[in-house]
Amino acid sequence: MKYETVIGLEVHAQLLTVSKIFCGCSTKFGQAPNENTCPICTGFPGVLPVLNKKVVEFAIRAGLATHCEIARSSCLARKNYFYPDLPKGYQISQYELPICINGYIDITVNEIVKRIRLTRIHIEEDAGKNIHDLRSDSSLVDLNRAGIPLLEIVSEPDIRSAKEAGTYLRTLRSILQYLDICDGNMEEGSFRCDANVSVRPEGTTALGTKVELKNLNSFKAVEKAIEFEIRRHVETVSDGGKLVQETRLWDPDREETRSMRTKEFAHDYRYFPDPDLLPVVIDDEWIDEIRTSLPELPGTRRARLMCQYDIPAYDAELLTSRKDIADYFESALKIHRNPKAIANWITGDLFRLLKERKLDEKLYITDWPVQPDNLSAMIALIDQDKISGKIAKKVFDAMSESGRSPQEIVAEKGLEQVSDSESIEESINQVLAAFPKQVSDFRAGNQKVLGFLVGQIMKATQGKANPQKANEILKRKLAEEN
């Protein structure tokens, strides 16, 4: 019996606003405990919430980018439950009338485009953080995170494999990053995912028992957890067993999911419209304003780069995986138009450098080790035959140390390629004279020794000889002297 997996994903994305959703506290990460708090976000008596306009704007951006219907009037609701990291004893969220509904994201898996529908996107506030005390009888609560704005993005159960799930998450994250509304850092918790997984016999439409997976702290964890769950479901069902509808936590050390200790009763959140807040009213004008100022999204940009610059899909994918990289690429192209070469240098040497210097951990890099115009100028020098590819590597390294232009470095270090036939011929003559044995070996039929001779020529010219020219002249000389 073959089984089909049905997966829905729920993402919580922390929004990059300056202040919290309902109060004027800072959202800055990494402050001392309870530093970014006030009576409002800590649920003191008598306080009232006031909605941050930017949060709504970001939600509209996300909705437009994912082809959602934007509700002209949506409702903020209270979700009531008790937990020490939830200061008011309720979370202000959205329930019946969310801000965005019925959208979709197109993902590409194995070169096939698939549409994953979005049920809804809504805004809500984050809870604080519980930390376990060294003592065994208490926990510590830090409410800096309480009140940080979140977008909850819920997909329809259109996802059919762990791979699709991973692709969906990466695509969604990329969109949010391009929109400048979320930095998508899963490890730091600004981009969180819960998965709902079930299986059913292939060809059927009824949904199987659904299991919710939590504690998925990386894309890898999501994929592994889903795979584990699929196996577990299929095994259980094949053996005639019954699955329990429950929440399970992913254990990254044991690489398995475990049942969460079930509560005595199912959660009854008693949602009702928050009487301290009125409907969130959005007019067409505002939506149009936001629509016209939307940045080009990753998918669109990728297609355009492929088309405009004739670069392969694989490269385009890498270049648009981050907005700052894509911006870098197009900046460089303004100086010198060699898309293939620029792409190669970016995805090769630049990526390596970023990783080495841990610069790839930033959301949007501005202090590049090698500025795009310098990289481009360097490639121009190669294309003008002024330096060889090998010399360029030296120039690149030098630029990343000093930040100076390639022209300056080439001039300073005298790295300019020698293309003048006369001086090359002179160096070649010297080399041929110095290595008679190799010359006769070549003439005797040993082609391999050519490489050695070329090497010696490069050595003699401090690597500056134009390799093509040198090769050409060497071959001519070897052929003619007899």
Partner 1 sequence: MKLTREEVQRVASLARLRFTSEDEERLSKQLDNILRYMEKLNQLDTSRIEPFTHAANTKTPMREDAITNEPNADALLANAPAQENHFFQVPKIIE
Partner 2 sequence: MNLAEFTLHEAREKLRRREFSAQELTEAVFRRISETEEKLHSYITLSRDTALREAKQADELLKTDTSPHSLLGIPIAVKDNFLTSGIRTTCASKFLETFVPPYDSTTIKKLRAGGAVIIGKTNLDEFAMGSSAENSAFFVTRNPWATDRVPGGSSGGSAAAVAADQCIVGLGTDTGGSVRQPAAFCGIVGLKPTYGRVSRYGIIAFASSMDQVGPMTKDVEDCALMLEALAGHDPADSTSANLPALQYSASLTGDVKGLRIGIPKEYFVSGIQPAVQQAVRDAVRQLEKNGATIIDISLPHTDYAVAVYYIVATAEASSNLARYDGMRYGYRAGARDLTETYALSRAEGFGPEVKRRIMLGTYTLSAGYYDAYYLKAQKVRTLIKKDFDEAFKSCDAIIAPTAPTTAFKIGEKTQDPLQMYLSDIYTISVNLAGLPALSLPCGFDSEGLPIGMQIIGKHFDESTVLAIAYAYEQSTDWVKRKPDL
Site residues (CB under 8 A) for partner 2? 39, 42-51, 78, 80, 82, 84, 87-90, 141, 268, 270-272, 275-278
Which of partner 2, partner 1, none does residue 45 bind (CB under 5 to 8 Å by kind)?
partner 2
Which amino acid is residue 205, in one-letter code?
A: T
**Neighbouring-strand partners of residue 164:** none
CB nearer to partner 2: give 240 or 275: 275
**CB closer to partner 2 out of 34 and 259:** 34
End-to-end CA distance of the chain: 78
Write down the least CB distance from residue 86 to partner 2, Å: 9
CB of 221 to partner 1, least distance (A): 17
In whole angstroms, the minimum distance from the beta carbon of 31 to partner 1 comes to: 8
- Judged by beta carbon, residue 53 or residue 362, the one nearer partner 2 is 53
Q: How far is the CB of 37 from partner 2 (least distance, A)?
A: 10
Report in angstroms how near the CB of residue 96 gets to partner 2 at its nearest: 11
Token digits of residue 162? 């762990």
Angle at 361 between CA 358 and CA 365, to 5 degrees: 95
Of partner 1, partner 2, none, which one does residue 35 interact with (CB within 5 to 8 Å by kind)? partner 1
Closest by CA to 226, choosing from 210, 239, 242, is: 210
Rama region for 270: left / alpha / beta (φ>0; ψ in -120 to 50; rest):
left
Q: How far is the CB of 120 from partner 1 (least distance, A)?
A: 19
Q: Round to whole Å and give the CA distance between 371 and 332.
A: 9
Residue 277 and residue 75: Cα distance in Å, rounded? 8
From partner 1, partner 2, none, interface partner of 122 (C-beta below 5 to 8 A by class): none
Between 271 and 286, name the residue whose CB sits nearer to partner 2: 271
Q: How far is the CB of 245 from partner 2 (least distance, A)?
A: 16
136's contact among partner 2, partner 1, none, with CB below 5 to 8 A by partner kind, is partner 1
Task: Give the number of other CB atoms < 10 A from CB of residue 139.
Answer: 11
> Using CB distances below 5 to 8 A depending on partner kind, what does residue 403 bind out of partner 2, partner 1, none?
none
Q: Which two tokens stand for residue 44?
A: 């003191």
Closest CA to 455 of 379, 390, 363, 380: 390
The alpha-carbon radius of gyration of the chain (Å, integer) is 30
The residue to which tokens 């297609």 are assigned: 303
**Which option in partner 1, partner 2, none does residue 455 bind, with CB closer than 5 to 8 A by kind?**
none
**Least distance in Å: CB of 381 to partner 1?**
46
CB of 326 to partner 2, least distance (A): 40
Token couple for 267: 């959660």
Residue 164 binding target from partner 1, partner 2, none, CB below 5 to 8 Å by type = none
Write a three-state SS string for 241-259: CCCCCCEEEEECCCCEEEE
88 binds, among partner 2, partner 1, none (CB under 5 to 8 A by kind): partner 2
Q: Which is nearer to partner 2, 262 or 384 (CB)?
A: 262
Residue 312 interacting partner from partner 2, partner 1, none (CB closer than 5 to 8 Å by kind): none
Which of the listed partners (partner 2, partner 1, none) does 334 bind, with a CB threshold of 5 to 8 Å by partner kind?
Answer: none
Q: Which is nearer to partner 1, 82 or 358 (CB)?
A: 82
Identify what 47 binds: partner 2, partner 1, none; CB under 5 to 8 Å per kind: partner 2
Which residue, 279 or 348, has its beta carbon nearer to partner 1?
279
Query: CB-wise, 41 or 153, nearer to partner 2?
Result: 41
Is 428 in a helix, a strand, or coil? helix
48 versus 112: smaller Cβ distance to partner 2: 48
Q: What SS3 class is residue 153?
A: strand
- Tokens coding 65: 């980018």
Taking the least distance from each CB to partner 1, the nearer of 248 and 469 is: 248
Question: Smallest distance, Å, CB 405 to partner 1?
Answer: 39
CA distances from 464 to 29, 374, 452, 455 (A): 51, 21, 16, 11
Alpha-helical segments (H) within 336-448: 339-345, 351-356, 372-383, 389-402, 406-413, 421-434, 436-443
Q: How far apart are CA 101 and CA 72, in angstroms?
A: 11
Identify the sign of the CA torsion 210, 211, 216, 221.
negative
Is 115 in contact with 130 (CB distance < 8 Å)? no
C-alpha pair distances (Å), 385 with each of 411, 424, 425, 435:
15, 14, 18, 28
Residues near partner 1 (CB under 8 A) = 17-19, 23-26, 31-39, 42, 44, 50-56, 73, 76, 82-84, 130-133, 136-143, 261, 264-265, 268, 270, 277-281
Of 88 and 386, CB closest to partner 2: 88
Least Cβ distance, residue 50 to partner 1 (angstroms): 5
Q: Is 64 in contact with 269 (CB distance < 8 Å)?
A: no
Task: Say if residues 199 and 4 touch (Cβ distance below 8 Å).
Answer: yes
